[in-house]
């Protein structure tokens, strides 16, 4: 890329690169958010399955962006479970707060979090999987939507490929649209920006960064993988008894455990011994057994790098 990628939306937010580091639970903490924001993109603190007010407080204590904007990402059922976490997020001074994985198809009246986020001075953002969800979110008052393609890693409603979904959502709404799903190199960033995206919402490319919460053994597993080794499954949630709605499985790396139980989730839920053995593998950081969230762009990960290096490669010279 010969020129620095930029958009009006990113510029208005105070960014020098139209990139948002996806708020990956267990990966995107305060240190990674700081590094991404200092590099000119938008760093995000992610509160996923294990999110809590205490966990958010811990990561905010590690945040030092040097005055650059940052964001916080939450899940809809998580803020219902822990309202104090949501209140802490509102008070943190974030430029953007995303709340995703709710029921947009049944959202009537609009979710109350939108008004609360906007009242805090932050942009209210949510991820969508269909043009209809995007319309409902825009009508409800969000400031931007993330068109999350099926290629993306982690939890989501994996329905449509990124580019097709992006085109449909751009035609459906007037609010800015961010693109998510296997944006793993400068060519992919340019592709979504040329299509009309306001920025790219990027996860896997940052997952192995030195500043991420990712364990060393997990980084090794990510670097050894490629996009053909991912699978969309609920096995991990069922094994760990996490309360994710079944509509939102996750794209993760295949392991023998996943291969064994994929499609047999009901049996796994009833097999206490299998789940106990899996929890032991989690405690031992056995990533030959424990699957990691990863998008189809995981093959682009070839080395452990700093967040600044990832931003520079994706966005081009500054």
pLDDT in tens, the chain (318 residues): 346 678 999 999 999 999 999 999 999 999 999 999 999 999 999 999 899 999 999 999 999 999 999 999 999 999 999 999 999 999 999 999 999 999 876 666 678 899 999 999 999 999 999 999 999 999 999 999 999 999 999 999 999 999 999 999 999 999 999 999 999 999 999 999 999 999 999 999 999 999 999 999 999 999 999 888 999 999 999 999 999 999 999 999 999 999 999 999 999 999 999 999 999 999 999 999 999 999 999 999 999 999 999 999 999 854
Is position 3 within any domain?
no
Q: What string of DSSP letters covers the chain?
A: --S----HHHHHHT-SS-EEE---TTT--HHHHHHHHHTTSBEEEE--TT--HHHHHHHHHT---TT--EEEEEEHHHHHH-HHHHHHHHTTT-SEEEEESS-GGG--S--HHHHHHHHTTSEEEEEESSHHHHHHHHHHT-SEEEEE-TT-SEES---S-HHHHHHHHHHH-SS-EEEES---SHHHHHHHHHHT-SEEEE-HHHHT-TTSS--HHHHHHHHT--GGGEEEESHHHHHTT----TT--EEEE--HHHHHHTT-HHHHHH-HHHHHHHHHHHHTT-TTTS--B--TTGGG--S---HHHHHHHHH---
Range of the domain at 35: 8-214+300-315
Number of domains in the chain: 2
**What is the model's pLDDT at position 4?**
66
Is position 230 within any domain?
yes
134 and 200: one domain? yes
Rg (CA), the chain: 18
161 and 247: one domain? no
53 and 104: one domain? yes
Are 121 and 139 in contact by the 8 Å Cβ rule? The answer is no
**What is the model's pLDDT at position 6?**
86
Residue 246: other Cβ atoms inside 10 A: 9
Are 318 and 2 in contact by the 8 Å Cβ rule? The answer is no
- Indicate which CATH number applies to the domain containing 198: 3.20.20.70
Is position 309 within any domain?
yes
Is position 290 within any domain?
no
48 and 135: one domain? yes
**What is the model's pLDDT at position 110?**
72
Is position 48 within any domain?
yes
231 and 177: one domain? no
Q: Identify the bridge partners of residue 43 per DSSP, sorted by sequence position.
A: 70
132 and 242: one domain? no
Is position 2 within any domain?
no
263 and 205: one domain? no
The residues near 286 (Cβ < 8 Å, ≥ 6 apart) are none
Q: How many whole angstroms separate alpha carbon 165 and alpha carbon 133?
A: 11
35 and 141: one domain? yes
158 and 12: one domain? yes
253 and 139: one domain? no
197 and 167: one domain? yes
Is position 295 within any domain?
no
Q: Sign (positive/negative) of CA torsion 185, 2, 21, 98? A: negative
163 and 58: one domain? yes
Is position 67 within any domain?
yes
């Amino acid at each position: 890329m010969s020129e620095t990628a930029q958009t009006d939306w990113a510029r208005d937010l105070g960014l020098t690169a139209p990139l948002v580091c996806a708020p990956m639970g267990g990966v995107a903490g305060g240190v990674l958010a700081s590094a991404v924001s200092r590099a000119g993109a938008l760093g995000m603190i992610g509160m996923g399955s294990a999110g809590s007010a205490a966990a958010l407080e811990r990561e905010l204590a590690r945040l030092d962006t040097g005055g650059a904007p940052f964001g916080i990402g939450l899940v809809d059922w998580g803020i219902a479970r822990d309202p104090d976490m949501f209140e802490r997020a509102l008070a943190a001074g974030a430029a953007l707060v995303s709340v995703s994985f709710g029921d947009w198809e049944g959202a009537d009246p609009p979710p109350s979090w939108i008004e609360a986020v906007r009242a805090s001075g932050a942009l209210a953002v949510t991820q969508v999987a269909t043009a209809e969800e995007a319309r409902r979110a825009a009508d409800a008052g969000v400031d931007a939507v993330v068109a999350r393609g099926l290629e993306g890693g982690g939890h989501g409603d994996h329905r449509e490929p990124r580019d097709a979904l992006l085109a449909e959502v751009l035609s459906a709404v007037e609010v800015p649209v961010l693109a998510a799903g296997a944006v793993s190199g400068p060519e992919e960033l340019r592709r979504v920006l040329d299509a009309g995206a306001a920025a790219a919402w990027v996860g896997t490319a940052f997952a192995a960064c030195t500043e991420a919460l990712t364990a060393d053994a997990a980084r090794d597993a990510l670097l050894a993988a490629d996009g053909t080794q991912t699978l969309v499954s609920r096995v991990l949630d069922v094994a760990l008894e996490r309360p994710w709605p079944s509509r939102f499985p996750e794209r993760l790396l295949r392991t023998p455990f996943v291969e064994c139980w994929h499609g047999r989730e009901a049996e796994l839920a009833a097999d206490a011994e299998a789940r106990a053995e899996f929890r032991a593998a989690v405690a031992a950081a056995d990533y030959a057994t424990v699957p990691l969230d990863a998008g189809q762009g995981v093959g682009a990960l070839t080395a452990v790098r700093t967040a600044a290096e990832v931003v520079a490669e994706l966005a081009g010279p500054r």
